[in-house]
Amino acid sequence: MEKHIEEPSNEQNTTGYFYLLGAVFGGLTGGYIQENFLGTVIGVIIGVVIAGFFVGTLLKGREHDR
């Protein structure tokens, strides 16, 4: 059986950046609106959920745009 050597891919996985941006700006927005720590935590959760929706549905299959 032949062993195939896969060439290293030059593509970068950029989905983690979207989750990070969603968490940071969701936390900033929640903290600013609620003016307490709980608002920041809720904002982070909502930001990550929205980033997950964006990555899972809106960004799927658009590798050529990144």
Determine, yes or no, domain membership for 64.
no
List the domain range (segments joined by +) for residue 31.
15-58
Determine, yes or no, domain membership for 38.
yes
pLDDT of residue 31: 92
pTM summary value: 0.72
∠ Cα 18 22 28 (to 5°) = 145
**DSSP string of 36-52?**
SHHHHHHHHHHHHHHHH
Q: Is 26 in contact with 48 (CB distance < 8 Å)?
A: yes
Model confidence at 55: pLDDT above 70:
yes
Determine, yes or no, domain membership for 36.
yes
- Kindly report, residue by residue over 14-53, the tens digit of the pLDDT: 788 999 999 999 999 999 998 899 999 999 999 999 999 9
3-state SS class at 3 = coil
Domain count, the chain: 1
Determine, yes or no, domain membership for 2.
no
Within 13 Å of residue 15, how many CA atoms lie on the same side as its CB? 15
Determine, yes or no, domain membership for 1.
no
Determine, yes or no, domain membership for 43.
yes
